[in-house]
Each structure stands twice: as structure tokens, then as C-alpha cells.
Amino acid sequence: MKARDLIAETGSALKANKGKSALTILGIVIGITAVITMTSLVGGIRDALVSEMGMNAARAISIYPYNGSGINDDQLAAMREQLPDYEYLSPTNYGSAQEIAAPTTAEKLSASITGVDEHYFDVSGLKIAQGRAFTQSESAEGSMSVILDKQAVQKLFGSSNENPVGKIVTLDGTEATVVGVVENSALMGGGGGGNGSLNIYMPVSTVSLRFSSSGTGYQQIFGLAKQGVDVAKLTEQSKVAAAKILRILADQIDQELSVSSAQSVIDQMSSFMGAFQLLAGAVAGISLLVGGIGIMNMMLTNVTERIREIGLRRALGATRHDVTAQFLAEAIAITVMGGLIGTVLGYGLSMSLSGLVGGMVGGMAIAPSVSAQSVMLAVGICIAVGVIFGNYPARRAARLDPVDALRHQ
């Protein structure tokens, strides 16, 4: 039988049983819709999180001693000398202000302060939305400059759309000039902003001298690995070098020092997303199994109803292969149509749910991610379901004796 004739016969058979075909397709539609919806949403969440982290996220490494004494300038210089694979090693300190206010502030607010240098925003994944980052002189000289996040702008100036650059805020009675606004949260570390306090950034020297309770030592170092450097290997090298420079005993390293990379955070996130996708796939697989059983049931019914037709085809010269191909083509056509409908519905449903999911994971803008591979996989699964569950009815039809089939009433 020619392919054109096979397609025509398949279309005619499905049209003759529209209601039955539609109900059979429904099981496949549900399964593929679930697969596409979950994979596109999970992919969209992953892409949004990576985007929030920033372009340099995979190269960021954090060095954090637990002993509380911090890291001094000499130790930082030694790290820079012994670890040349870093593009930057950015010192960070933390402090707080009991009261932060602007001329329009109506309520009393406190602030968690992150002290950073001029390279911190390149390393951490923070993006400057308005204004600029700190200059080298501001970082070194203890300048009373401040960078706010969107929440702080909202609380201090009444609207997150306000441009506060150049305006004055007071921290525990001391004036500071706003030089910039960041649009997202840092990937690793950063000010806490907990207990209702605002999260702001100031030059690291300013925080060490005026707002830190731990003295002038740096509480954390953020590093940005050079392009092409093995981040996992550099993380281990950093742990060994930092322990040596900070004079931490070998058996105390895990208790007194934390060295972690943003790549590990990304890997953990990808692993979690992969596990979630696997679970969603298992649930969708059950739907496809039920749909496949429905297809087999329908095709077996078709064989029974069309015994005389099969006998007539065989009497007119159709081979067993032709009969098998016809019924198998019908099963595959049903599953492929279900797959295509499910793909469209899945993408539409993921678009509808993206806003809701984005609100649940921190107000991120999530765009569903449907890859060509996902669509091809869905179509491939549909064809496989059609072949597997349509094979037995097709072979049963092909094995019918033509003479007995023509006698069937």
C-alpha cells in the first residue's frame, strides 16, 4: 500500500469514528499537556533564577571564616598573591544602623548594611538599576555614600519608581548621599534585611569604621574566577590557601571556614529542578499509560467492528503487512494528534500559570521555556505509545482468516 493511500485510509477511518477517536485522544492530550506544562515552567523558573544571579554567577566564590575575627588587609593581600586565578577578590563587611531616614520618611526604620568595595557588584550578581557603583576612592576612604535596593527606595521615598540618586539619607543621625540603586538581591551573601530592616550597601571601609560591631576585619570575601578557570578546582585551592593564611588547623577547617561557589548553588538548583521534572514526568507517564490502554481498547473494538472490511481487503489482494500498517497508522495518528494538541495546551497553560508561579518564588518574571527538544520528545513519546499499544490490535487484525472474516455477521 502506498503512503498516500495509507494516509487517506487512516483519515477516513478516524472521521468515521469521531466521537470514539476524540475520547481516545483525550488521554494522550492530558499526559502531554502535563509534560509540556511542567517542563516549560521548570525551565522558565531555572532561566529566571540564573538571570537573577547575573552573568558572572557561575564564577562567584565565597570565603567566610566562622571564627569572628575576620580577615585583615595583609591576609587579603596574601590571598590575592597565592590565588592568581581570581579576577577580583572583593572584601565584605556587615553592620547595622538603628535608624535610617529620608526627608519624606514617615516611619522609623532600621537598616542592615553590607560594606563592599568597587568590584563587589561585578562579583555578586547585583545589577545597578540607577546611578553607579562605588568608586575606588569611596571604597578606600570611608565615604558616606550609600546604595539602596528597591524596597529601601519604596520605604524611604514612598515609591520604588522614585530616583533617589543624589539625595540625602541619614544613618543614626549621620548624612549619607545615595549614589545608586540595585534591582535585585545578591546571589551569595549580602545584607540580611531581616526583622523588618532595610538592606543597603556602603563602602566597606565606612562600615568597618562606623557601623560594624566586629572591628575592621573583613567578615567575608567574594571572588570572581577568571574566564575559563575550573571553578570547582579553584574552590578547593581557595579553601587550602585560606586555611593556611588564616592559620586554621587541618582538622578544624570544616568547623572554622566555609568556601563555596555559586556554581554549586546552580548545580543544586538544577538537581532539584531535575528531580521535580522527573516526578512530573512520572505522573504524566501514568496519564500516557492510561491513554495507551484506551488506544488499545479502541483499536481492538475497531478490529471487531471491521472484521468484514478486513476480510474484503484481504480478498482484494491486501497483504497482512498492509492490514497491520493500516491499523498501526490509525493508532499513531491518534497519539500524534493528541501530542500536538497537548503541546499547544501545555504551552498555553504554562503561560497562564507563569505569573502565579513567579509570585510564589519571589515575584520573578518567568517566561515558560519550551525547547525544540521537549516538543520532539513529546511527539516521539506519542509515536512510541501508538506503536506499542497499537501493535497488538494491528497484528490481530492481520492474522484474521479472510474467508472467516467475510462470513462474519
% the chain with pLDDT above 90: 21
Interior/surface letters 74-83, b for 16+ CB within 10 angstroms, e for the rest: ebbebbeeeb
Average pLDDT over residues 148-158: 88
Whether residue 74 lies inside any domain: the answer is no
- Distance from C-alpha of 218 to C-alpha of 91, rounded to nearest angstrom: 6
Non-local (6+) Cβ contacts of 401 within 8 A are none
Whole-prediction pTM: 0.61
pLDDT of residue 3: 66
Angstrom distance (rounded) from CA 154 to CA 170: 16
Do 39 and 154 fall into the same domain?
Answer: no
User: Are 184 and 305 within one domain?
Assistant: no
Domain that holds residue 124: 90-219
- 154, 184, 219: which is the final residue of a domain? 219
pLDDT of residue 254: 85
Q: Quick one: average pLDDT of 332-341?
A: 85
Most confident of 52-56, 128-132, 303-307: 128-132
Regarding whether 272 and 381 lie in a shared domain, the answer is: yes
Contact between residue 71 and residue 221 where contact means Cβ atoms under 8 Å apart = yes
Q: Say how many domains are in the chain.
A: 2
Strand runs labelled E in 143-242: 145-149, 168-171, 174-182, 198-203, 220-225
Q: Which one has a higher pLDDT value, 154 or 317? A: 154
Residue 196: HSE in the Cβ half-sphere, 13 Å Cα cutoff: 6
Q: Are residues 156 and 209 in the same domain?
A: yes
Q: Answer whether residue 379 shows pLDDT above 70.
A: yes
Contact (Cβ atoms closer than 8 angstroms) between residue 235 and residue 256: no
Mean residue pLDDT of the chain comes to 80
Distance between CA 400 and CA 53 in Å, rounded?
Answer: 64
What pLDDT, in 10s, does the model give residues 62-102? Answer: 999 987 668 888 999 999 999 999 998 999 999 999 999 88
CA–CA distance, 190 with 116 (Å, rounded to integer): 9
Is the predicted pLDDT of residue 59 greater than 80, yes or no?
A: yes
pLDDT of residue 185: 54
Q: If you average pLDDT over residues 372-379, what whole number do you get?
A: 74
Q: Which of 93, 132, 95 is nearest to 113 (CA)?
A: 95
pLDDT tens profile 93-103: 999 999 998 88
Confidence of residue 193 (pLDDT cuts 50, 70, 90): very low
Label the pairing between strands 198-203 and 109-116.
parallel
Question: How many angstroms separate the CA atoms of 233 and 271, rounded?
Answer: 20
For position 231, what pLDDT does the model report?
Answer: 87
Q: What is the pLDDT of residue 192?
A: 46
In a domain, 232, yes or no: no
Q: What's the pLDDT band for 113 if we cut at 50, 70, 90?
A: very high
Q: How confident is the model at residue 168 (pLDDT cuts 50, 70, 90)?
A: very high
pLDDT mean over 179-190: 68
pLDDT of residue 398: 77
pLDDT of residue 238 exceeding 50 = yes
Q: 3-class SS at 78?
A: helix
Query: What letter would DSSP give residue 301?
Result: H
Question: What integer pLDDT is reported at residue 55 of this predicted model?
Answer: 54
Dihedral, 322, 325, 326, 332 alpha carbons, nearest 10: -170
**Are 284 and 382 found together in one domain?**
yes
DSSP 357-401: HHHHTTS--------HHHHHHHHHHHHHHHHHHHHHHHHHHHTS-
Instruction: Please state at what angle helix 231-245 crosses helix 73-82, rounded to 10 degrees.
Output: 140
Amino acid making up residue 194:
G
| pLDDT computed for residue 272 by the predictor | 75
Q: Are residues 204 and 296 in the same domain?
A: no
Range from 178-182, 299-303, 361-365 carrying the lowest mean pLDDT = 361-365
If pLDDT is split at 50, 70 and 90, which confidence band does 30 have?
Answer: confident
Are residues 204 and 118 in contact, defined by beta-carbon separation less than 8 angstroms? no
Residue 250 in any domain: the answer is: no
Task: Say whether both 149 and 34 belong to one domain.
Answer: no
Domain shared by 304 and 200, yes or no? no
Q: Is residue 359 packed enough to be buried (19+ CB in 10 Å), middle (13-18) or exposed (0-12)?
A: exposed
Q: Is residue 256 part of a domain?
A: no
Task: For Cα atoms 402, 405, 407, give the angle at the middle one, nearest 5 degrees.
Answer: 115
Asked if residue 202 and residue 271 are part of one domain, the reply reads no
- Compute the distance between CA of residue 66 and CA of residue 256 in angstroms, rounded to an integer: 5
pLDDT at 174 over 80: yes
Q: Is there a single domain that holds both residue 283 and residue 396? A: yes
Same domain? 196 vs 146 = yes
Q: Which residue has the higher pLDDT, 358 or 353?
A: 353
Angle at 135 between CA 130 and CA 141, to 5 degrees: 130
> pLDDT: is 20 or 100 the higher one?
100
What is the Cα–Cα distance from 304 to 79, expressed in whole angstroms? 80
Is 79 domain-assigned?
A: no
Residue 236, domain member (yes or no): no
